[in-house]
Structure 1
């Protein structure tokens, strides 16, 4: 009996030290954008480029939206340049996808918050079900070039659904729809907050101000369209998706 108790105590101690008794703590750890992990991945990317003359990214089509176009391929970095993919990365059970911006110039590592993408996927599925039943989309009116507001009452929502912003913890961002059925996020609230916080910097009216978010955050604005400042308000732009 004494040996049994000793074994149980030893097992408990092992689980305590390894964190296996705290799945909530593990989930929290996998959902925090640690700056040291970002820097470690960026250093690995730069060293890989120096060695091979290319960046370690997965192949995507040229028409892939700019912020999703260059996902990091960790199989090319592990174990030669990194011991493992970061714990908060999708590849390691986390909620972030690591991506590159400016890969042709000075590559920078940024994050896609996959929780935003999942929320949008769930909402898009509800719209598809509505269209199958009614043979038309639940839209109210056109509010921009190819951008439509959504009839949330037709979808039986008591309150308009919104996604949690990765740029500001208190912001809930509105959802809109393109004429092709794609769901987009309106980042106006975040952009205006960053303008108030940091100023316009090198940007002027007519520039794609999504890049202001990227400059001052570890994240990129997924499911987005170019937005700019006009007459003191943030509006959607027409034309090119990126200032690059």
Structure 2
């Protein structure tokens, strides 16, 4: 099965270097504590109060979901923060501080740029091997594995989960984009907290409600009749 050629990702930040191969050594990630996130949250709220509702953001057009509103620390330091958080990209860290629900209830969250770098590395690797992306097995509605044989991969490409440190599969969708499979992390949070959802509800929000990290590169995910995470389709949304 073939899809159109991947366009190399253009990210408005200097991406951390990454090498995404199934057999590569993984470094376990630790979920960052809430102290720095809370510090930035307080600073943003104070800035908003002093600026008649404006937010200290650099809006990034044509960005992946959750990356549109990025905190502009130049607007916060030094009047609202003494310095940039040490784990922020701007201070040499791996996290991009972002704002979700900017219009109604701005909340500070983190995006793991290590994943962005890994996806970029994979994109460049595949782009160099042919005009089209060669697809293999369909693993969900409109979600496919790469053709592992064609790309000489012994295992499916993965990224390291920012939630658990485990390996998360990277797939490709019909919209010509790479996607990260967060179903395992979502399922764990559902189980640990005895959560119940309806089929058709996008359940990705629990990832950033129970941790400070947003699930970048994630397709929409819902649950089946057994409350198990599955990839969302238009059929699920319509309730059919």
Shorter chain as normaliser: what TM range?
A: 0.7 to 0.9
Q: Does 1:230 align with 2:229?
A: no
Distance 2:64 2:220 in 1: 11
Higher relative contact order, chain-length normalized (CA < 8 Å, sep 6+): 2
For residue 157 of structure 1, the aligned residue among 150, 153, 158 is 153
In the other structure, the counterpart of 2:164 is 168
Q: Is the 8 A contact 2:146 2:156 kept in 1?
A: no
Deviations 1:192-224 (A, max 9, x none): 1111111326x4321111101111011000011
Q: Name which one, 1 or 2, has greater alpha-carbon Rg.
A: 1
In the other structure, the counterpart of 2:191 is 196
1:80–1:108 distance in 2 versus 1, CA, 3 Å? same
TM-score (norm: length of structure 1): 0.77
Q: CA deviation at 1:144?
A: 4.2
In the other structure, the counterpart of 2:16 is none
Q: CA deviation at 1:145?
A: 4.4
Q: Is the 8 A contact 1:32 1:88 kept in 2?
A: no
TM-score (norm: length of structure 2): 0.79
In the other structure, the counterpart of 1:14 is none
Distance 2:233 2:73 in 1: 35
* Worse overlay, 150-159 or 70-79: 150-159
1:32–1:165 distance in 2 versus 1, CA, 3 Å? closer
Q: Does 1:48 align with 2:69?
A: no
Deviations 1:50-99 (A, max 9, x none): 111111111223x5443111111111111110111101100010111001
Structure 2, unmatched stretches of 5+, are 1-26, 235-240
Distance 1:181 1:124 in 2: 11
Please tell me the root mean square deviation across aligned C-alpha atoms, in Å: 2.1
Distance 1:64 1:115 in 2: 16
- 1:148 aligned counterpart, secondary structure: strand
Alignment of structure 1 residues 206-225 onto 2, 5 Å: 206-225=200-219
